[in-house]
A and B are shown apart, each in its own frame.
Chain A
Amino acid sequence: MKRRTFIKNSVIVSGGVLITPNVFAAESNVSSRKRVTILHTNDTHSNIDPFPESHSKYPGKGGVARRFELIQKVRAEEENVILLDAGDIFQGTPYFNKFGGVLEMKLMSHLGYDAATMGNHDFDGGMKGFVDAKKHADFPFVCSNYGFENTPIDGHTKGYTIIKRGKIKVGVFGIGVEMKGLVPDLKFGETKYFDPISVANDKANLLKKKGCDLVICLSHLGYSYESDKVSDLVLARKTKNIHLIIGGHTHTFLDKPTEEKNLNGETVLVNQVGWAGINLGRIDFEIDSKVFAKKDIIKVG
């Protein structure tokens, strides 16, 4: 994809001289359209090396060094790139069993990840195991609906993060799956679980108030369920102020992001790229910057 150049439209509105320049700019089409490229993975599950050519399902697919090459290519073409992961970084190959997640963290830092959230398997080495591995990470973990007070993870995650790229502010928060039944009790200990929908609404509202142009939820809830269990699609419908949900957990390969309507009837994108680093998700946003705009309208090209 080629980098696009944006031409500032100059529109003359009569009487405009009487109005403060900011308001004028916001109202007219004199918009500086801003562009940001979101790259994302989920459920990479310690798949450091590509699947072997003899693999029965994904021969020759994936591989962290190849992902790095691909990301570098995008970074060379695009000014504003943000790299995110929706959890389950650990568990799936002997690399995790032998090295406890250290290599995964070193590589994600090298690839330039900006933020990740924790999946249920990121507790597999125990909470202390996670903290030990995380020492090798130079990016934050955003976990908004786990309460880690009185656990070894306390202080090692953030409720949200704001990533600035050029003139763009992107707010990112993380929603985890309920661990009871998924993770042995001992591994998550006294971790408290808070309702995904109300936490997501609070964080998204906060990030909007802080002036974020885009609000992204990293979710490890899972794409969709037949039961009424909360999923990414449910989260999209029952919240507002979220533009994009990057999901995981269900290892869902989507051809393109799903468009859902939120509580305000606005479009929310839900994306997920399977697992094992077989695909890298790429979503390019071009954003208007109207200061007094009431509503965001997402148009998928």
Chain B
Amino acid sequence: MILKIIIFLLLGAGLLACSSVNTILVNNEQVSVTSEYEKVNSADSIILPYRNDLNKEMLEVIGFAPQSFERGRPDGSLNNWSTDVILNSQLEKIDKTKPIFCILNFGGLRNPISKGDVTLADVFKLMPFDNEIVIAELPISSIAKIEAYQKIRGGEPIAGAKIQNGNFVFNNPIPGAKTMLIVTSDYLFNGGDHMDFFQDNIDVQYAGELMRDVMIEAVKKQETLIWSDEKRIDLGE
């Protein structure tokens, strides 16, 4: 009898235990890292020699931004500046019998250029990647895919062309041309950000220049950076 009671109690306890729950109480805070925590500390000492080394190089002022350059979708002043600079850097080298434009990716413009002095570091932050410029030749018929891509993405930076009501229009069309040239980065040409239309390419030239280096040269040459909020992409309905 006593044994039965023990078994009963054990069983009961077991069943109760199995149906029980753990409660986990949670508190959260997204703590903002601000000057409130500014204090010279041991992490600073680790950083210092690296920072000094870099600053020598990077804090050199190479130009001036009259306004802030921001990336945007479908359009942005940084989209316009970056694509213009990359396109212009290649115009002298190319076959003028084919229409040409430049496409880059919104995601690749990593940092705005703030109003004021522009340092070498600012350009490194905008374009940290060691991406090379390429010129791809594609059939004109691939434009439909580019229009579709622009629509899906909500606008990716272009120069030398516009999207009007969803339709692609060259700034300088060449009647009868069967192919076109697209200036872009090796990253995008090789399928980055799913620009799959580049698989239609019939030829590609690697420019042998890094996008960042071209941008640095452009800042130095322009001195006061050319700011434009021109609307280039209207995706329509």
Q: Is the CB of B51 within 8 A of A49?
A: yes
Q: Is the CB of B22 within 8 A of A61?
A: no
In the bound assembly, the distance between CA atoms of A45 and B125 in angstroms comes to: 10
Q: Is the CB of A107 within 8 A of B47?
A: yes
Q: Is the CB of A292 within 8 A of B31?
A: no
Within the complex, which residue of B20, B23, B68, B111 is in contact with A27, where a contact is CB–CB below 8 Å?
Answer: B20
Once A48-B51, A67-B37, A91-B128 are accepted as A-B contacts, the answer to whether A300 and B192 lie under 8 Å apart by CB is no
- What residues of chain B lie closer than 8 Å to A91, measured between beta carbons? 128-129
Instruction: Mark A105-142 against chain B: 1 for CB-CB distance below 8 A, else 0.
Output: 01100110000000000001000000000000000000
A298 closest partner in B (C-beta): B24
- What residues of chain A lie closer than 8 Å to B187, measured between beta carbons? 184
Interface of chain B residues 23 through 46 with chain A (CB within 8 A) = 23-35, 37-44, 46
A64 within 8 A of B: yes
A169 to chain B, nearest CB (A): 13
- What residues of chain A lie closer than 8 Å to B124, measured between beta carbons? 93-94, 97
Once A65-B43, A70-B31, A292-B17 are accepted as A-B contacts, the answer to whether A92 and B191 lie under 8 Å apart by CB is no
B145 within 8 A of A: no
A41 closest partner in B (C-beta): B33
In the bound assembly, the distance between CA atoms of A132 and B47 in angstroms comes to: 19
Once A19-B9, A66-B38, A68-B43 are accepted as A-B contacts, the answer to whether A181 and B194 lie under 8 Å apart by CB is yes
Q: Is the CB of B32 within 8 A of A110?
A: no
A73 closest partner in B (C-beta): B37
Once A65-B44, A69-B37, A91-B128 are accepted as A-B contacts, the answer to whether A284 and B191 lie under 8 Å apart by CB is no
Q: Is the CB of B6 within 8 A of A94?
A: no
Q: Is the CB of A103 within 8 A of B46?
A: yes
A27 closest partner in B (C-beta): B17
Instruction: Mark B185-217 against chain A: 1 for CB-CB distance below 8 A, else 0.
Output: 011001111100000000000000000000000
B105 to chain A, nearest CB (A): 11
- What residues of chain A lie closer than 8 Å to B40, measured between beta carbons? 65
- The A interface is mostly helix, strand or loop, or mixed, namely mixed
A218 within 8 A of B: no
Within the complex, which residue of A93, A94, A110 is in contact with B42, where a contact is CB–CB below 8 Å?
Answer: A110
The interface centre, meaning the residue of A91, A273, A292 with most chain B CB atoms within 10 A of its CB, is A292
In the bound assembly, the distance between CA atoms of A292 and B23 in angstroms comes to: 13
In the bound assembly, the distance between CA atoms of A273 and B28 in angstroms comes to: 12
A84 to chain B, nearest CB (A): 14
Q: Is the CB of B23 within 8 A of A297?
A: yes
A166 to chain B, nearest CB (A): 16
B54 within 8 A of A: yes
A87 within 8 A of B: no
A278 closest partner in B (C-beta): B33
B139 within 8 A of A: no
B233 to chain A, nearest CB (A): 19
Count chain A residues whose beta carbon lies closer than 8 angstroms to a beta carbon of B: 86
Binds B, one of A143-151, A196-204, A233-241, A250-258: A250-258
Interface of chain A residues 243 through 287 with chain B (CB within 8 A) = 243, 253-257, 269, 271, 273, 277-287
B16 closest partner in A (C-beta): A27
Once A23-B14, A184-B192, A287-B24 are accepted as A-B contacts, the answer to whether A254 and B33 lie under 8 Å apart by CB is no
- What residues of chain A lie closer than 8 Å to B34, measured between beta carbons? 60-61, 66
- What residues of chain A lie closer than 8 Å to B18, measured between beta carbons? 292, 294
A227 closest partner in B (C-beta): B152
In the bound assembly, the distance between CA atoms of A23 and B34 in angstroms comes to: 48
B121 within 8 A of A: yes
In the bound assembly, the distance between CA atoms of A93 and B186 in angstroms comes to: 21
In the bound assembly, the distance between CA atoms of A255 and B22 in angstroms comes to: 26
Binds A, one of B112-120, B158-166, B220-228: B112-120
- What residues of chain B lie closer than 8 Å to A283, measured between beta carbons? 26-28
A177 to chain B, nearest CB (A): 13
Q: Is the CB of B128 within 8 A of A18?
A: no
Within the complex, which residue of B22, B54, B115, B186 is in contact with A287, where a contact is CB–CB below 8 Å?
Answer: B22
Closest 3 CB pairs of A and B: A292-B17, A68-B43, A66-B37
14 pairs, A vs B, C-beta closer than 8 Å = A18-B5, A18-B6, A69-B43, A93-B125, A98-B57, A181-B192, A278-B32, A283-B26, A287-B24, A290-B22, A297-B21, A300-B28, A301-B25, A301-B26
User: With A69-B41, A96-B128, A97-B130 given, can you name 20 additional A-B contacts, CB distance below 8 Å?
Assistant: A49-B51, A50-B35, A56-B114, A66-B38, A67-B33, A91-B128, A94-B121, A94-B124, A97-B128, A98-B57, A257-B26, A269-B26, A282-B29, A283-B27, A287-B22, A293-B22, A296-B21, A296-B24, A297-B24, A298-B24
